[in-house]
């Protein structure tokens, strides 16, 4: 959905320079068409299997993005009361919401029960007991998140499927935990959940984990547990580098299709990054060029408070000029924040980075704005949604007054 035409970078049919000039920089831009296409790929991959696609709101919880997905019929995977509030405000169907996360508070659980969500993905015995205590005869649906001890082969900060991680319940204890849940009067343990990590470019670990969970389902049913659905989590990655290719959901579903169909369970999945990641770009303007004896720096008006992924994960994002140029130099692209870690690229060949020129940081639709902050008292960026040849600001740029809202001297 992002391409050059006559030397100018477009999002769908909109010239990104127009957005930068009107909405200002830094500015996040999202392609509605790309989001729709990725969602429909998931829907198509499961074919005749009963399934619910629960978009992982943590990847990008902007109301316009959530509303766009709600219009497509998406469910939602949430990890906080705030995300539940956002999803409901965006028009999400509460009966298609699953609540994940290791540290749900009593207030969040009560809010979710009162809202009529589909179910909780539970990660400890203590959590089961808290939900049971708050159920008050309402028979709350729960799935137990099982940790299958499968290595997701991804960044250690976003790997979640090993016994050393805080997530889930050890698969060797799962049958004991289901027996305990069956004795709690306000719970219906009718689901099973698994999520082993994020940004996976190889689907093999996901297939391995799913097969372990399917084998566990057979044992649980033999013990009398009436399981109705299986939540396979999310985790598919996207291509951040030109030499990478994004894995496709059908490559995960296809080898499991017959086994899933035979299992007779409704399938839930929780994609986030793979739905919105490639749909976003961060527009930024070059403020200065600076030379030192060892480096050439391109200083831009976006910073680590706007996009922390390079500093936090050492992640790679392609950087493109909004106007194609043959002037290429090797530079560090850095922001104004007072941290050496405030960078977007190091020793990168970059075209068209003169003072005043516009650049786009690619593949930032997931965990971009969602992780942004006001560090260095910088107002957060504007957000724009493009749909065909139309675009609109869906989140206004913060003002200095916004920085101190709610504070008292």
Asked if 54 is an active-site residue, the reply is no
Q: Three-state DSSP class for 302?
A: coil
CA distance 194 to 76: 16
Contact by Cβ (8 Å): 20, 358: yes
9, β-bridge pairs: 4
Where do the H-state alpha helices sit in 136-184?
174-182
Cα within 13 Å of Cα(292), Cβ side: 6
- Using CA atoms, how far apart are residues 236 and 271, in angstroms rounded to an integer? 7
HEC string of 210-250 equals: HHHHHHHHHHHHHCCCCCCEEECCCCECCCCCCCCCCCCHH
**Own/partner pairs, 66-71, CB within 8 angstroms, 24+ separation:** 66/90, 66/91, 66/92, 67/91, 68/32, 68/35, 68/36, 68/385, 69/35, 69/39, 69/275
Question: Given 54, 122, 194, 338, which residue is catalytic?
Answer: 338
Helix (H, G, I), strand (E, B) or coil at 188: strand
Active site residues: 338
């Amino acid at each position: 959905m992002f391409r050059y035409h006559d030397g100018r970078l477009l999002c769908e049919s909109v010239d990104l320079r127009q957005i930068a000039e009107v909405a200002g920089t830094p500015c996040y831009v999202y392609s509605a068409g790309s989001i729709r296409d990725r969602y429909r790929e998931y829907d198509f991959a499961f074919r005749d299997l009963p399934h619910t696609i629960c978009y992982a709101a943590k990847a990008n919880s902007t109301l316009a993005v959530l509303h766009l997905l709600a219009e497509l019929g998406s469910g939602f995977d949430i990890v906080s009361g705030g995300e539940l509030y956002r999803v409901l405000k965006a028009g999400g169907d509460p009966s298609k919401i699953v609540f994940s996360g290791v540290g749900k508070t009593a207030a969040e659980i009560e809010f979710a029960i009162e809202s009529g969500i589909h179910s909780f993905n539970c990660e400890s015995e203590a959590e089961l007991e808290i939900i049971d205590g708050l159920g008050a005869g309402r028979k709350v649906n729960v799935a137990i998140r099982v940790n299958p001890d499968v290595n997701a082969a991804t960044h250690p900060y976003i790997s979640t499927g090993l016994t050393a991680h805080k997530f889930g319940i050890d698969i060797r204890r799962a049958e004991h935990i289901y027996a305990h849940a069956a004795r709690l009067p306000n719970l219906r343990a009718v689901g099973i959940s698994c999520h082993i990590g994020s940004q996976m470019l190889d689907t093999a670990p996901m297939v391995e984990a799913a097969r372990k969970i399917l084998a566990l389902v057979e044992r649980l049913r033999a013990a009398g547990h009436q399981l109705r659905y299986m939540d396979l989590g999310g985790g598919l990655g996207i291509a951040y580098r030109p030499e990478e290719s994004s894995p496709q959901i059908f490559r995960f579903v296809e080898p499991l299709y017959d086994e899933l169909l035979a299992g007779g369970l409704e399938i839930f999945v929780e994609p986030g990054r793979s739905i919105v990641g490639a749909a976003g770009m961060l527009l930024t303007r070059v403020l200065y060029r600076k030379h030192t004896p060892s480096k050439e720096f391109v200083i831009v008006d976006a910073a680590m408070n706007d996009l922390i992924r390079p500093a936090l994960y050492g992640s790679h994002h392609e950087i493109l000029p909004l106007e194609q140029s043959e002037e290429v130099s090797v530079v560090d692209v850095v922001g104004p924040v007072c941290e050496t870690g405030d960078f977007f690229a190091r020793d990168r060949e970059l075209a068209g980075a003169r003072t005043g020129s516009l650049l786009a940081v690619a593949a930032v639709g997931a965990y971009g704005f969602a992780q942004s902050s006001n560090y260095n008292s910088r107002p957060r960026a504007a957000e724009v949604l493009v749909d065909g040849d139309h675009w609109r600001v869906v989140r206004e740029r913060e003002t200095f007054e916004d920085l101190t809202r709610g504070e008292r001297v």
